[in-house]
Structure 1
């Protein structure tokens, strides 16, 4: 098809409520159709959303899911489903922002909304990573202790050193991406196996898809939303998309093989953890005191192998989240301060090291990680999430930046629903904590 033919068709092709489709967009559509990727070529597009999913699905997520299942059985599964749907839409906006931003999302925020707004965004994500760092550090050490024995603190220090070594590598994002995709695959296998070992009541689990709010569950609901509608992880997806050099021609395939499965996978795994906890501990009506308590219940069900399978999944979740958390916090604070938007920049690596050091320091000083403190830390992230969600939605509607990739009305509707949800949950959290 010639350029003249493309232009002629563009002039008579209606848009979707935003005027006519541009020549550039039609060219991208034609180019995409000409270069249909094979199945194996599409798999090479997997990456940024799976990194976000690995960050989202960490020990804090597991802890809140275990408490939800053991304390309220299957009643809170609906929270995961709703959070996952909203997360897909917000992550999709971030992917498009990564494609269209000339340098980075925070740089574009500075250009369009003011430098101080970009600084606030970078600092906001950094503060969230500090909240997550302690749980990630303790969780990785606890996971290896469950598998290999020995002191959890010793394994926490070892895991932190290993992650620090990974972050020092050149082209660090590509290495991290590969590690985390493997970790997500490992987690999927272990938690699916755990669910079948636990032999849950699947009919009751299906009933948990109907929204209910049991008495005393509001803090836990806020924590579940904070971990599964992970606005900070969605925000960071734009950086992975930019580092991988994605284009408009890649967008459709990226959505199918990366964005949707990368976000759905941790949602399914979280729901499975709730199902497992409900099956093995829910009959007591009491929340599990520790992750070890849940893993230990598998021994009567399936012997030591059952506990090992769950422990392996827990370690993969904590270790992968530790890597993604430190990388994201370092990259976005570095960008917010104007020191470069790449995870390979000196400032990003220095900040990432500081996040790791903070996590291991708190873990060593306090020698424990009470479940309730992890839940509260996860819940507190929703106080910052509304700012990040609002910035994503605003930037995804900037015509001068996004062009024909800007939000459609239905994307805005889902984004606003998510924003309203985190705002209301922030208010509910404050009421819960002060009452």
Structure 2
């Protein structure tokens, strides 16, 4: 009997016992970590910076300046804590954007029921209506400060028309990203410069990292959390991530290049505004009693340069928030009612236009906007925020949806801390409103 060597044809992927299918190989290759250069990582910047730009609006500036002018450096810890919680919630939303087949609200409908998905979309829409007024007022005021003698209302109308024109661009989200990243960079320069101009007491500022609750500060604390732990902005990050076509292999680099710096940036800027307001108040004895007062609070210390720098940053904050606020509200209401999860749908464009119009109409009817009303409006957002936070947390734990990107125990721990925080603040706000405190 002679030995024979049997030549077998190469095995076809997907055939025979123990073979690996072509789809499996492709999945492994696509999900494998890829090394990216620094420049390639910069290309991943986008969705979290859009969320940060939305988060850092005129309401944020208003509450930050009032915090600094009323309580000096004592409330900086609120910004630090809110920023940490915001990073974790935004990270969950990024992973949801990667894993959801169509959109976050569509997945909520599939897993938790259609009414819950509609509730989420309507909730975000209502928040955007509240924000639209401050954005409209702030953009007009910022430009009127930069161009003395001009009408804030006129600039409000011009800014609104400019944003409305953006709605008709075919690839809205990509254009918005580029605009907002540039504005965020401009704002960062303005507020860092303001901090040096104000000659702040940095030792006192460091003491503000220790949690303390001054008498009568609860509503302001709630408003600071409402603007800096912006759950509606975190929620929308899932849509931006989906629009950019992020894959599981991108996740680590996206976290380093976009999620963490995109959320830390507005946190740092808000802290700087508190520090500058505290420093200027100590030097001039002024307090911020109106929006005009906010825009001119730096002039007594630094002259026209200080006022110009702050006005430029104020305009940037308002305009950068106006764009994603309108687009996010339109997109998610469109998705909630099954009209499509994109900012380019007809329903999304019309709804975004309505949000812009609402801000202008309220601005025209009530041309004087006391600081306390803006603070209260920001605080009221925490009444809706717990619902959105709970939905993000629940969906990020759905094993069938998230697979290997499902929340880990430490991510759930921080998510629960954030949820409990906004729930507690909602209860505290209701108590304050009912008691008239």
3-state DSSP of counterpart to 2:344: coil
Contact 1:281/1:294, CA 8 A, preserved across alignment: no
Cross-structure match for 2:345: 345
Cross-structure match for 1:49: 48
State how 1:217-366 maps to structure 2 within 5 Å: 217-282=217-282, 287-366=287-366
Kindly state the Cα deviation for residue 55 of structure 1 after the two structures are TM-superposed: 0.3
Cross-structure match for 1:63: 62
3-state DSSP of counterpart to 1:281: helix
Cross-structure match for 2:105: 106
Contact 2:284/2:300, CA 8 A, preserved across alignment: no
Cross-structure match for 2:200: 200
Contact 1:329/1:351, CA 8 A, preserved across alignment: yes
Kindly state the Cα deviation for residue 300 of structure 1 after the two structures are TM-superposed: 3.4
3-state DSSP of counterpart to 2:298: helix
Contact 2:277/2:297, CA 8 A, preserved across alignment: no
Deviations 1:75-110 (A, max 9, x none): 000000000000000000000000000000000000
Contact 1:327/1:348, CA 8 A, preserved across alignment: yes
Deviations 1:306-347 (A, max 9, x none): 111110000000001000100100000000011000011111
Q: How many residues align?
A: 415
Cross-structure match for 2:38: 39
Contact 1:70/1:287, CA 8 A, preserved across alignment: yes
Kindly state the Cα deviation for residue 291 of structure 1 after the two structures are TM-superposed: 3.9
Instruction: Tell me, in whole angstroms, the C-alpha distance in 2 between the residues paired with 1:59 and 1:382.
Output: 17
CA RMSD of aligned residues (A): 1.8
3-state DSSP of counterpart to 1:221: helix
The structure with more radius of gyration: 2
Instruction: Tell me, in whole angstroms, the C-alpha distance in 1 between the residues paired with 2:283 and 2:416.
Output: 38
Kindly state the Cα deviation for residue 277 of structure 1 after the two structures are TM-superposed: 0.4
Deviations 1:195-250 (A, max 9, x none): 10000100000000000000000000000000000000000000000000000010
List gaps (5 residues or longer) in structure 1: 9-21
Kindly state the Cα deviation for residue 297 of structure 1 after the two structures are TM-superposed: 3.7
Task: With the length of structure 1 as denominator, give the TM-score of the two structures.
Answer: 0.92
Deviations 1:34-65 (A, max 9, x none): x3111111111100000000000000000000
Instruction: Tell me, in whole angstroms, the C-alpha distance in 2 between the residues paired with 1:28 and 1:285.
Output: 60
Kindly state the Cα deviation for residue 370 of structure 1 after the two structures are TM-superposed: 1.3
Contact 2:286/2:297, CA 8 A, preserved across alignment: no
Contact 2:50/2:181, CA 8 A, preserved across alignment: yes
Cross-structure match for 1:14: none
Instruction: Tell me, in whole angstroms, the C-alpha distance in 1 between the residues paired with 2:383 and 2:305.
Output: 40
Contact 1:190/1:312, CA 8 A, preserved across alignment: yes
Cross-structure match for 2:399: 399
Instruction: Tell me, in whole angstroms, the C-alpha distance in 1 between the residues paired with 2:172 and 2:385.
Output: 27
3-state DSSP of counterpart to 2:193: helix
3-state DSSP of counterpart to 2:301: helix
Task: With the length of structure 2 as denominator, give the TM-score of the two structures.
Answer: 0.92
Cross-structure match for 1:182: 182
Further displaced range: 166-175 or 67-76: 166-175
List gaps (5 residues or longer) in structure 2: 1-12, 19-23
Cross-structure match for 2:130: 131
Matched, 1:88 2:87: yes
Shift in alpha-carbon separation, 1:283–1:148, aligned structure 2, 3 A: closer
